[in-house]
Structure 1
Amino acid sequence: MEKRLYKDEITDVLSFILTKQRDYACYKEFGCFSPENRMALEIGGPVSPEEAGVRFYFYGRLSPLGTLVTATNWSNVLHRRFVKNRKALKIVIHGFKESRNTRQVVNLTSTLLQHTRSNVIVVDWQYAARFPYYATAAANSPLVGAELSVLLQSMYNKSSLWPKSVHLIGFSLGAHAAGFCGRHFENATKQKIGRITGLDPAGLLFENPNASLSSADAEFVDVIHTNGGNMNELEFGRKDPMGHVDFYPNGGSYQLGCTAALSDISCSHNRAWWYFIEALQSTCSFKSIPCHNGWNSYRTCLMNAYVKPVQMGSRKVIPNLNGSYYLKTNAKPPYCIEEERFPR
């Protein structure tokens, strides 16, 4: 009964938030934003860069609290440190109503610094993603991607950045911002970003494949779906496959341990953060298997003697990996199941 009320309220709210946004526009440094060049949503264009207020913070061994980064100070100060240590670059992009200080963002940033040999940049676009203006935030995601692309271009041109060493990690709307960054960067440099990881990419307003994250946006795109489906069913993610490999823990729509309570409404959606963080921290490998008939046939597929499990949230790109993969998790941390009766 409680969920039925939520669904009725969602229907009313959708008519309010899905209003037409600004006209499509061009901004000198970042280019033009329109559906024709896959840099805008059908609902409209982004606000100006000044209004968006996107900020970039660099984290590394000598910058544990984060240093504000621009194309200018990167060239003058930080690029020498970056070139000297030659670490890979991980970039974290938050979603709707979040910021660089959101618990999941802070946790992932510290995990990346501790468990990977990487520097980290956190994209803070909290003003352009503020609640309750979801449609505006969605329309702003292409600008976020373009601004990040311009920063990466500066690093590429002046700091010997190797694009294949760049790994974008985006949650919800941030996953699509990562996609916009990838295509903007390739258009400007003819080089692809190395990897994009989409953490339950947002579904609402990204039903059109031309707007959403896709496998064309990086050399390797992996996606973790935890709340995919229909917004009317309170499913906030897009469930369609969109990467080279798509992972569907517990079927990809609802996660074990989450409830229908209003206070828990984003539980399944946010679980993508925690699965990825745990995958980096743990020796347990989140073993996942292909299953042509989907989640409903998972148990049957599990007993297939020829099944080859792969790791969800792997630190490294798995060569030639394609398709949809399924796995079961625990209802509470640790989420990874140590042994799931895989054939030997």
Structure 2
Amino acid sequence: MRRRYQGGKRTGMDIFLDPCLVVSDLFLEPSSNVQEDGNVVVVDWARGASLRDFVQACANAELVGRQVAFLVSSLTHNGLVLPWNVHLIGFSLGAQLMGFAARRLARTYGLKAGRLTALDCAAPLFEPRGLHPRKQDVLYLDALHTSAGTNLLMGHVGLRKPFGHVDFYPNGGIQQKGCEGKGLTCSHQRAYLFFVESLSQWTRCRFKSIAWAEGCRFFSGKRCGRGPTTGLEFGRMGYFSPSTKARGVHYLETNPEPPFCKE
């Protein structure tokens, strides 16, 4: 990855939030294990994302999403970006932002981004209104659910329902292993930590997942069954998710500490 924009390369977009700096640095670091030539555009909206006024931050997410869409459209019309090579990545509220960006890009500019990765997409104020990234706005939407639920006092702040082409629910998607007694944000933050490890340790482990029965909801408290054997039942959570043909709801277990990937 280059620090200077190179037209015509694969372009990734990453939300700027303090935790997601880890993701951005991994792409930008010359010594990174990521063997891809392309560009990374970091969207710095730290001031607008302040959780001191979450309601305003939610409104700001839609506004900044429109600006991201305008940027992608401008780069496309100037021949610097191929929209199907654009990868939008967002964590928490940033995942909602990228959902707004993808929607604006598709509906206003008639362009579909190649991929959107939603890392434990924020649920408060959004889920009751049915707001989330939509797979019809992009060519491929993968979602990680690590703190799904509605009990904010328990740190359940991520969207529960599946909304992507493939939705991964590691450890059931509610409480992550190793997060017991480690604060309300531990399970939520595991989403970007898993994604980072899928990049940094990609030669060692794959975050292999298994498809589960249609209609399965891990957060419902009911036992989930394995889906039908179709040859497409195995997936790969994280950056290399498109390397498989996995679709639907997927489950996997992780280790409680780094390295999180089991297989």
TM-score w.r.t. length of structure 1: 0.67
- Tell whether the 8 Å contact from 1:90 to 1:118 is kept in structure 2 after alignment: yes
Q: Distance in 1 between matches of 2:137 and 2:63?
A: 16
Q: Distance in 1 between matches of 2:45 and 2:53?
A: 13
Q: Show CA shifts across 1:63-109 (max 9, x none).
A: 4xxxxxxxxxxxxxx5xxx22xx321111114xxx3xxx2x323211
- Note if 1:174 corresponds to 2:94: yes
Q: Distance in 2 between matches of 1:291 and 1:207?
A: 23
How far has the Cα of 1:208 moved from its partner?
A: 4.2
The Cα RMSD (Å) is 2.4
**Aligned residue among 128, 131, 142 for 1:222:** 142
How far has the Cα of 1:214 moved from its partner?
A: 1.8
Q: What secondary structure does 1:143 align onto?
A: helix
- Tell whether the 8 Å contact from 1:172 to 1:199 is kept in structure 2 after alignment: yes
Q: What secondary structure does 1:248 align onto?
A: strand
Shift in CA distance, 307/221, structure 1 to aligned 2, threshold 3 Å:
closer
Q: Distance in 2 between matches of 1:246 and 1:155?
A: 30
**Aligned residue among 30, 38, 56 for 1:118:** 38
How far has the Cα of 1:242 moved from its partner?
A: 1.1
- Note if 1:105 corresponds to 2:42: no
Q: Distance in 2 between matches of 1:160 and 1:109?
A: 21
**Paired AA for residue 196 in structure 2:** I
- Tell whether the 8 Å contact from 1:255 to 1:268 is kept in structure 2 after alignment: yes
- Note if 1:313 corresponds to 2:233: no
When the two structures are aligned, how many residues end up with a matched partner?
Answer: 250
- State the match for 1:237 in structure 2: 158
TM-score w.r.t. length of structure 2: 0.87
- Tell whether the 8 Å contact from 2:116 to 2:140 is kept in structure 1 after alignment: yes
Q: Distance in 2 between matches of 1:194 and 1:208?
A: 28
Shift in CA distance, 328/151, structure 1 to aligned 2, threshold 3 Å:
same
In structure 1, runs of 5+ residues without a counterpart are: 1-59, 64-77, 339-344
How far has the Cα of 1:134 moved from its partner?
A: 0.9
Q: Which runs of 4+ in 1 moved over 4 A?
A: 293-298, 304-307
**Aligned residue among 187, 202, 210 for 1:289:** 210
Q: Distance in 1 between matches of 2:109 and 2:59?
A: 24
Q: Show CA shifts across 1:3-24 (max 9, x none).
A: xxxxxxxxxxxxxxxxxxxxxx
- Note if 1:146 corresponds to 2:60: no
**Aligned residue among 250, 264, 273 for 2:192:** 273
How far has the Cα of 1:117 moved from its partner?
A: 2.3
Q: Distance in 1 between matches of 2:27 and 2:54?
A: 29
Q: Show CA shifts across 1:244-273 (max 9, x none).
A: 110000000110111235xx2101000001
In structure 2, runs of 5+ residues without a counterpart are: none
